[in-house]
Amino acid sequence: MNMTRHALQHMRPRRQGVIANFGSLVSWQGLPGASYYSSTKYAVTGFTETVHQEVSAFGISAVVIEPGYFRTGFLNEGGSNRIRAAKPLMEEYKNTPVNVTRDRLNSVDNYQPGDVVKGAKVIVDVLTQTGVAEGKKIPVRLVLGRDAFEAIKDKIQSTEALIKEWEDIIVSTDHDDVKK
């Protein structure tokens, strides 16, 4: 946030530039057992979307890059990238969504669908508006990977179902003088 604030001091007078932050698939859908990680990614997305609204009038873009699972060393055991809890509470979370997440991360390690080289090329193309992004405006969210695409579609559908089911209660809190 501080880096963005300082960079914008130089970008606003020039009326150009791009702020690019990394979110994640979990910017859309929290991951049981990774609440701290998930919440920071939600925060990065909210921050970036808001910055985009604040600076787009200056010709500045802000984009949050939201990759799905990419085949990196991030999940590798002993690679110092994947930090594990000192006391993992294995028994307490047995047969829970947290355990499912733990098992999934272990099984997907080194089998993630995303190709880092392809993803990096798309990111560069989008940020420079060249290659696959030629003639396109920089999006506020750059989603990468079929797994992210499918999870986001599921999230949208479940959110639509939720607000449809609860619409009467959602709008019941308005003052009586508010028009429908």
pLDDT value of position 10: 96
How far is residue 12 CA from its own chain's centroid? 26
The CATH code belonging to domain 2-72+113-154 is 3.40.50.720
pLDDT value of position 7: 96
pLDDT value of position 79: 60
Cα–Cα distance measured from residue 28 to residue 153, given in angstroms and rounded to the nearest whole number? 10
pLDDT value of position 141: 97
Q: What is the pLDDT of residues 18-51, one digit of tens each?
A: 999 999 999 898 888 888 889 999 999 999 999 9
pLDDT value of position 83: 63
Burial classification of residue 41, based on how many CB atoms lie within 10 Å of its CB (0-12 exposed, 13-18 middle, 19 or more buried): buried
pTM metric for this prediction: 0.85
Q: Kindly list the domain boundaries of the chain, sorted by start residue.
A: 2-72+113-154, 73-111
Q: Rounded to the nearest 5°, which phi and psi values hold at 38?
A: -60, -45
Residue pointed to by tokens 């970008």: 11
pLDDT value of position 80: 58
User: Taking the chain (180 residues) in consecutive chunks of 10 residues, what is each chunk's mean pLDDT?
Assistant: 95 96 91 88 96 97 94 71 70 80 77 89 98 97 96 96 97 88
Provide the residue type at 43 as one letter.
Answer: A
